[in-house]
Amino acid sequence: MIQTDLCIIGAGPVGLFAVFEAGLLKMRCHLIDALPQIGGQLSEIYPKKPIYDIPGFPEVNAQTLVDNLRKQIDPFKPTFTLGERVDGLTRNDDGSFVVTTSEGTQVHCKVVVIAAGLGSFEPRKPELQNLEHFEGKGVVYMVKDPETFRKRRLVIAGGGDSALDWAIHLSSIAERVTLIHRNESFRGAPDSAEKVFKLAHEGKIDLLLSANLQAVNGNGVVKSVSVVDKDKSVKEIETDYLIPLFGLSPKLGPIAHWGLNLDKSAIEVNTVDYATNVEGVFAIGDINTYPGKLKLILCGFHEAALMAQRAFEFVYPSQKRSFKYTTVNGVNAF
């Protein structure tokens, strides 16, 4: 069992900054995220998106912000469990908690901080008959390790940044990449779209526009997909993998059953320390709600700072905050 002071559910920008605020108060943090990497929406959905409302940065790239936050918290040595969804929360007799993930990982902590953005992300799936029968058997919704697809035939479906970026990257790894999109133009970055069109022109990928997936075919594993083009003709494409990249759908998930006060899909908190109605459990960032709430990253940073002050009292109940604003790499933080 992993031992820590704060278990932070969500490794997006607000969860990462909470590590910094906790670290200044000598509190250890372990972060859990259902995604295979840190960064939350910034890394998973729009890593190249410019952000304009971070103080001190007239413009900062989303992934750059994540990378900088990681550097900022490195001195405090946080630990991570990635690619696992939080399922269970149990309170011990001493007031501490055990957080359990979908893979059976257990984290013992004194404070739980829910910084899960809009909740756990689940892939948006195409409406294809028997699709679930092929999940994990050729149908995958996230590219965790590109080497899995080396010298294999791939069909990628989608028109956003993820579909474009992976089509470009995997074109030099896979045996063959076919990119299918229902429209004539892409939603993703123009630069990425231009690269995809160039790869298609050079014969390095196959590009099917104004086309839709109709069926997944195979016997136990994926063997081919059927595609309907704009002329309503059906084409069968042999493939080893189908990778539908239609974005991620945020869901509160099992957290909704933890006895927290909810307003629709958001967790109600007070604005003194962003505590929930469950003692020792806090919610910060886009997942919480209160009068006047703004879903901005900088607001989440503010909430993380105030939350950490109160969390300190759970971690060190007999101590005063005498070492608030400690040192980072031997230099005064403030």
Decide if pLDDT at 329 tops 60: no
State mean pLDDT over 314-327. 69
Binding positions are: 33, 41, 46, 86, 121, 286, 327
What's the pLDDT tens digit per position in 110-166?
Answer: 999 999 987 766 788 999 988 999 998 999 987 867 889 999 999 999 998 889 988
Decide if pLDDT at 78 tops 90: yes
Q: Nearest Cα to 315, choosing from 16, 33, 97? A: 97
Q: How confident is the model at residue 216 (pLDDT cuts 50, 70, 90)?
A: very high
Tell me what pLDDT residue 325 has.
46
Decide if pLDDT at 331 tops 90: no
Tell me what pLDDT residue 334 has.
42
Share of the chain above pLDDT 70, in %: 93
What's the pLDDT tens digit per position in 97-125?
Answer: 999 998 899 999 999 999 998 776 678 89
* Average pLDDT score, the chain: 91
Instruction: Map out the domains of the chain with their CATH numbers.
Output: 2-122+249-329 (3.50.50.60), 125-246 (3.50.50.60)
Binding positions for FAD are: 33, 41, 46, 86, 121, 286, 327
Q: How confident is the model at residue 332 (pLDDT cuts 50, 70, 90)?
A: very low
